[in-house]
């Protein structure tokens, strides 16, 4: 009896702990996003800025450990204390090659400001586009210039220049991303051809139709020799011609043309 019960028991497969952790993380993330969407604009902007700044600080700190604070090993020229341009160049080098704390600060400001402005622009405009992206990039570039010390003697002008550079780069990347993320436009001249080939399981031969300029309008005119000219094998040729003969609309067009 006991053995029968044991044999009748269903052993549930154990889930992968990594998959469980990923599922839990996605659940927490989705709940957080739903909560954030219900908050006021100042609260959402503050939370987004803070979380993005924390992520940027982590990335910057890690990069700073890789550079091992190269700025400390940079020699200071004797004339640097007298030449403002030399001092500005030295500060820029120190800003770009600082240690973990310096890079954590720089990246925190850059990513936090960018995310905060993007959040505000999205709420106000109701969409994410290249203009909003460039405004956010301008703000992050300007703040990065001021905080990192790259501004030199004329900090305001250099902050505006850095912001403009960031905005142009971000605008170009945004447009490039939009171009590659959009699905290719469907060729309207081959919509019926594509549907026919797909129903026959011959979609791989659509390129043959296009190479031979055999569009939807030529379907009623197709012959075995025409299909042979575009290098379609005998078997698929028979299926295509049989499909056209069975299609009442295409068959009617064939009769009218004759």
pLDDT for the residue 73:
53
pTM of the model: 0.55
pLDDT for the residue 220:
92
Cα(first)–Cα(last) distance of the chain, in Å?
82
Total residues found in the chain within this entry: 258
Q: Are 230 and 211 in contact (CB under 8 A)?
A: yes
pLDDT for the residue 202:
94
The two structure tokens encoding residue 112: 């936090």
pLDDT for the residue 82:
44
The two structure tokens encoding residue 38: 């219900």
What's the rounded Cα separation, in Å, for the pair 157 and 152? Answer: 9
Spans of all domains in the chain = 32-71+81-181, 188-257
HSE toward the beta carbon, residue 169, CA cutoff 13 A: 10
For 188-257, give the CATH class: mainly alpha
Q: Are 193 and 216 in contact (CB under 8 A)?
A: yes
HSE toward the beta carbon, residue 4, CA cutoff 13 A: 1
**Longest distance between any two alpha carbons in the chain, whole Å:** 97
| Residue pLDDT tens, the chain, 258 long | 445 444 555 555 556 777 788 888 888 888 888 888 888 989 999 999 999 999 989 998 888 887 664 545 545 555 444 455 544 554 555 555 567 888 888 899 999 999 999 999 988 888 888 899 999 999 999 998 888 876 566 788 888 998 899 999 998 888 888 777 765 566 788 989 999 999 999 999 999 999 999 999 999 999 999 999 999 999 999 999 999 998 887 766 655 655
């Amino acid at each position: 009896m006991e053995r029968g019960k044991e044999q009748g028991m269903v052993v549930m497969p154990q889930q992968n702990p990594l998959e469980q952790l990923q599922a839990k993380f996605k659940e927490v993330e989705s709940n957080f996003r739903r909560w954030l969407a219900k908050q006021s604009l100042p609260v959402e902007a503050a939370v987004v800025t803070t979380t993005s700044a924390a992520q940027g600080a982590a990335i910057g700190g890690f990069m700073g450990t890789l550079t091992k604070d190269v700025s400390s090993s940079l020699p200071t020229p004797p004339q640097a204390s007298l030449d403002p341009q030399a001092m500005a160049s030295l500060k820029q080098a120190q800003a770009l090659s600082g240690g973990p704390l310096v890079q954590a600060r720089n990246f925190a400001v850059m990513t936090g400001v960018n995310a905060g402005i993007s959040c505000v622009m999205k709420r106000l405009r109701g969409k994410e586009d290249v203009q909003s992206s460039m405004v956010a990039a301008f703000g992050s570039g300007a703040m990065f210039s001021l905080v990192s010390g790259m501004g030199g003697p004329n900090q305001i002008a250099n902050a505006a220049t850095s912001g403009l550079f960031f905005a142009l780069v971000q605008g170009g990347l945004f447009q490039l991303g939009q171009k590659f993320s959009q699905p290719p436009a469907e060729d309207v001249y081959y919509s019926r051809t594509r549907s026919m080939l797909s129903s026959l399981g011959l979609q791989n031969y659509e390129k043959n139709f296009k190479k031979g300029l055999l569009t939807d309008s030529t379907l009623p005119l197709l012959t075995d020799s025409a299909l042979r000219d575009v290098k379609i094998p005998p078997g698929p040729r028979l299926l295509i011609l049989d499909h056209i003969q069975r299609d009442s609309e295409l068959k009617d067009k064939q009769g009218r043309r004759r």
